């Protein structure tokens, strides 16, 4: 006999029948603090609707590393209907099911509520399917500490310090949205019933295939929507010959079948190029290989239709390459994709890759497909559209095709569960629309630095929250729902913003308190232990071993972003100045930040008085950037420590430019060297070395014969308190050819100049160094060093 009363089961069944007519999903939350009761209710519901969900798989997501989570899964599996296919997956493996479609999904949220997990799972159920969320009671959810939250409890804070705003938002949004019911399993009572609204039957999808096309009908018939047909048709343009680069830019909300459509079109394009050229190589790149699995799968389907025997290579259950005679499709991380060549480059989730790296990829390939999600857990693509497409359209050497998909593949438009997840995770947040009055306020500097009440911002002031978070979505290439969760839950994070006098948010700041570690934690860090939530103190103590830094208390700027329509108007600098005032007043010792080192971004921080103090030893494989940490000391003690660290960093950087920083952009390296302190240091060159160098500077010896001396002089030049004047190009020549020890070819490529020009500049630098550091001002004065005797060497003239 079921635990759930039949009339309640009937309600769920009737609502699911209505949802199927509309092609929409439904979500039922079942809560209890009794594990066995939760499982029993879930089984009762599944038995009631099994005829509606049969014919496809049901997904059951749980936490395998919690014993009670594994126990509930076993209990459910024992009682589950035998005529329904159920796939069980642990949350840490969710990436393996992306792109799959299920008739229903049971989500065990007892042990954890993580925004990213919700973002991934809320796209896998087809229209007419049911999500069943198993949760503790609301009271227990607010009192307990989840795994996600426990990782946010950093030294100096306890579980009672957690803010719990995301949990409250989650509960509030479940109550607000249509298509959702909430069931109290303990009281056998619907806290919220499915809203009874008029349901319009789902319109039959009519797909019109192109009449005049090179692509066969059998390929188009793999498409499920008209949008997908249009995407596939655009691959014809990529096949045609052109003197210009051909770029296809595809954007879509999640669940529109973007990756599968790209895969279908790509499979046909590869087949045609293989026939025309005898071979075809395609590079697929994305933040990680999980993003391109659907592209691989559907490209493989089309190639098999054309009878190409495929050799598929996988790593950790993910496809990483497909090969056949004359055909290769291979996944490479963005940084590796930049170092190779291919007939076609596919960049999936392009919004998650920095714009400078996208342009480097663009310069390397002739046929490119940039595909990106606009709203989804993978990140948001509006910033990609604003920052990348605008510049792309201005290029005269590019034929660009643009298409935005709108029609969902798995469910009908206006799906209430999509509306709920977009709202809950702010996936569709946008910056404020700025009027002429708002823009005038910015121009006149009529802006205020504002510290919002976080309970009001996160739980009540939805408009301001969306304006605040929407700026991040526009400005940052790496966004995911966990960023929102951290902001709302972490006890050491806090929010500031800059608003116009008209009330619009134009700068968003997320900040974190770090430091005040005490001697014991500082010593642990110095020995190599990882200090949670203390990124800057951890790096400073690990790399420089100055334990005193752990005593200091600072503010790390986690993220700062300006509204895209009012950038470069001083708002970011205004926000930093006001933050500095606030931090000084509250007794903080320093403010700092860590970010991917680009010249533009680094220049912003240096201009605002921040000192570079650390550079990661490896590039981020997705962004292709080294991470730099900058600090602005506020107290006298912090100033002394940071000065010592910055000097040591400069010394280390000068000696590390050949390796590991050989591929650091010369402009970034130069900015780091010029932004760090200059200081008096002993300098001398033995006579024989001096003679060799002067022969290069004032006669006909080549630089290769005295690179050791040139390198020593270059290092001294960047340290010297009063160095001689060099042009920017001369400094870049020093960095690239001398300090990074790059080949002539690499130097010319980096600096975009000719061989005669770079050799001339280096020769001129040698003469300047000769005058400034060696007191030799002419060929005549250098001449005495060209004819040395044993006596000269012994007397060391």
Annotated binding-site residue numbers:
228, 410, 560-562, 600, 607
Of the chain, the end-to-end C-alpha distance in Å amounts to 105
CA-to-CA separations, 784 to 688, 770, 774, in angstroms, rounded: 12, 14, 14
Instruction: Identify whether the C-beta of residue 451 lies closer than 8 Å to the C-beta of residue 327.
Output: no
Instruction: Identify whether the C-beta of residue 377 lies closer than 8 Å to the C-beta of residue 98.
Output: no
CA-to-CA separations, 797 to 200, 689, 768, 775, 793, in angstroms, rounded: 98, 13, 21, 13, 7
> Count of alpha carbons within 13 Å of 160, Cβ hemisphere only?
0
Query: Using CB atoms within 10 A of its CB, is residue 191 exposed (0-12), middle (13-18) or buried (19+)?
Result: middle
Which phi and psi (to 5°) does residue 770 adopt? -60, -45
Cβ neighbours of residue 546 under 8 Å, at least 6 residues apart?
540, 641, 644, 645
CA-to-CA separations, 352 to 31, 39, 79, 242, 565, in angstroms, rounded: 36, 38, 42, 29, 21
Q: Residue 682's closest CA among 641, 715, 726, 658?
A: 715
Positions at the binding site for acetyl-CoA: 560-562, 600, 607
Cβ neighbours of residue 327 under 8 Å, at least 6 residues apart?
270, 274, 279, 280, 281, 303, 308
Say if residue 660 is preceded by a cis peptide, omega within 30 of 0: yes
Residues comprising the chain, all counted: 797
Instruction: Identify whether the C-beta of residue 31 lies closer than 8 Å to the C-beta of residue 136.
Output: yes
Strand-pair partners of 560:
509
3-class state of residue 388 by DSSP: helix
Question: Whole-angstrom Cα distance, residue 390 to residue 210?
Answer: 30
Question: Whole-angstrom Cα distance, residue 6 to residue 400?
Answer: 58
Cβ neighbours of residue 675 under 8 Å, at least 6 residues apart?
602, 606, 611, 612
Strand-pair partners of 509:
496, 560
Instruction: Identify whether the C-beta of residue 576 lies closer than 8 Å to the C-beta of residue 597.
Output: no
DSSP state of 256: S
CA-to-CA separations, 688 to 649, 692, 792, 795, in angstroms, rounded: 31, 6, 10, 12
Angle between helices 165-176 and 416-424 (to 10 degrees): 160
Our CA angle for 463, 467, 469, nearest 5°, is: 115
- Give the helix/strand (H/E) hosting 18: helix 6-22
Q: Residue 783's closest CA among 688, 687, 691?
A: 691
User: Within its chain, how far is the Cα of 425 from the centroid?
Assistant: 17
Positions at the binding site for ATP: 228, 410
């Amino acid at each position: 006999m079921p635990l759930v009363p039949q009339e309640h089961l009937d309600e769920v069944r009737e609502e699911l029948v209505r949802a199927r007519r509309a092609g929409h999903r439904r979500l039922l939350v079942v809560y209890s603090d009794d594990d066995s009761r939760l499982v029993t209710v879930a089984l009762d519901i599944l038995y009631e609707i099994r005829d509606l969900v049969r014919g496809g798989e049901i997904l059951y997501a749980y936490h395998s590393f919690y014993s009670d989570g594994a126990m509930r899964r076993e209990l459910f599996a024992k009682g589950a209907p035998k005529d329904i296919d159920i796939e069980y997956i642990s949350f840490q493996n969710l990436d393996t099911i992306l792109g799959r479609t299920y008739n229903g999904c049971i989500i065990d949220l007892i042990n954890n509520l993580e925004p990213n997990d919700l973002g991934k799972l809320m796209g896998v159920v087809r229209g007419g399917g049911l999500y069943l969320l198993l949760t503790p009671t609301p009271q227990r959810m607010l009192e307990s500490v989840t795994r996600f939250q426990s990782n946010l409890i950093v030294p100096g804070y306890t579980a009672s310090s957690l803010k719990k705003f995301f949990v409250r938002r989650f509960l509030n949004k479940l109550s607000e949205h249509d298509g959702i019911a909430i069931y109290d399993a303990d009281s056998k009572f619907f806290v919220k019933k499915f809203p009874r609204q008029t349901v319009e039957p789902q319109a039959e999808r009519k797909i019109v295939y192109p009449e005049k096309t090179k692509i066969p009908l059998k390929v188009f018939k793999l498409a499920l929507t008209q949008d997908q047909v249009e995407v596939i048709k655009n691959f014809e343009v990529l096949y045609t010959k052109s003197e210009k680069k051909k770029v296809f830019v595809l954007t879509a909300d999640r669940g529109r079948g973007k990756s599968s459509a790209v895969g279908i079109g790509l499979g046909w394009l590869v087949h045609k190029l293989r026939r025309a050229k005898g071979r075809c190589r395609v590079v697929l790149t994305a933040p990680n290989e999980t993003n391109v699995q659907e592209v691989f799968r559907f490209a493989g389907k089309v190639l098999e239709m054309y009878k190409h025997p495929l050799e598929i290579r996988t790593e950790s259950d993910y496809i990483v390459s497909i090969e056949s005679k004359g055909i290769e499709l291979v996944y490479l991380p963005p940084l590796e994709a930049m170092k190779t060549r291919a007939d076609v480059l596919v960049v999936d989730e392009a919004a998650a890759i920095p714009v400078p790296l996208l342009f480097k990829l663009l310069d390397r390939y002739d046929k490119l497909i940039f595909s990106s999600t606009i709203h989804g857990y993978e990140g948001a693509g509006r910033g990609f559209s604003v920052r990348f497409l605008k510049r792309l359209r201005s290029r005269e050497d590019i034929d660009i095709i643009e298409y935005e998909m709108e029609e969902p593949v798995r469910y009908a438009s206006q799906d209430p569960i999509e509306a709920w997840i977009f709202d809950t995770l702010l996936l569709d947040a946008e910056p404020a629309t700025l009027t002429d009055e708002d823009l005038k306020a910015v121009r006149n500097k009529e802006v205020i630095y504002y510290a919002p009440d976080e309970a009001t911002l996160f739980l009540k002031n939805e408009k301001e929250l969306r304006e605040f978070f929407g700026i991040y979505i526009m400005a940052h290439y790496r966004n995911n729902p966990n960023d929102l969760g951290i902001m709302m839950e972490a006890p050491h994070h806090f929010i500031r913003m800059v608003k116009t006098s008209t009330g619009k948010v134009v700068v968003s700041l997320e900040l974190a308190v770090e430091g005040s570690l005490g001697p014991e934690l500082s010593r642990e860090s110095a020995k190599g232990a990882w200090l949670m939530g203390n990124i800057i103190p951890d790096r400073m103590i690990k790399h420089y071993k100055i334990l005193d830094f752990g005593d200091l208390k600072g503010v790390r700027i986690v993220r700062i972003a300006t509204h895209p329509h009012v950038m470069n108007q001083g708002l970011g600098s205004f926000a930093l100045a006001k933050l500095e005032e606030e931090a000084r007043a509250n007794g903080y010792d320093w403010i700092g930040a860590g970010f991917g080192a680009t010249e533009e971004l680094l220049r912003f921080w240096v201009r605002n008085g921040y000192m570079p103090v650390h550079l990661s030893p490896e590039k981020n494989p997705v962004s292709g950037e080294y991470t730099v940490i900058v600090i602005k000391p506020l107290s006298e003690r912090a100033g002394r420590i940071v000065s010592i660290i910055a000097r040591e960093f400069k010394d280390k950087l000068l000696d590390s430019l050949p390796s590991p920083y050989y591929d650091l952009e010369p402009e970034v390296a130069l900015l780091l060297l010029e932004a760090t302190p200059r200081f008096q240091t002993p300098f001398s060159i033995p006579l024989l070395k001096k003679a060799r160098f002067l022969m290069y500077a004032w006669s006909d010896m080549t630089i290769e014969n005295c690179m050791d001396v040139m390198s020593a002089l270059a290092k001294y030049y960047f340290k010297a308190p009063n160095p001689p004047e060099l042009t920017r190009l001369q400094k870049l020549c020093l960095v690239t050819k001398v300090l990074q020890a790059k080949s002539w070819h690499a130097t010319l490529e980096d600096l975009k100049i000719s061989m005669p020009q770079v050799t001339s500049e280096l020769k001129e630098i040698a003469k300047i160094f000769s005058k400034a550091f060696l007191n030799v001002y002419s060929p005549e004065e250098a001449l005495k060093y060209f004819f040395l005797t044993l006596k000269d060497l012994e007397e060391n003239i």
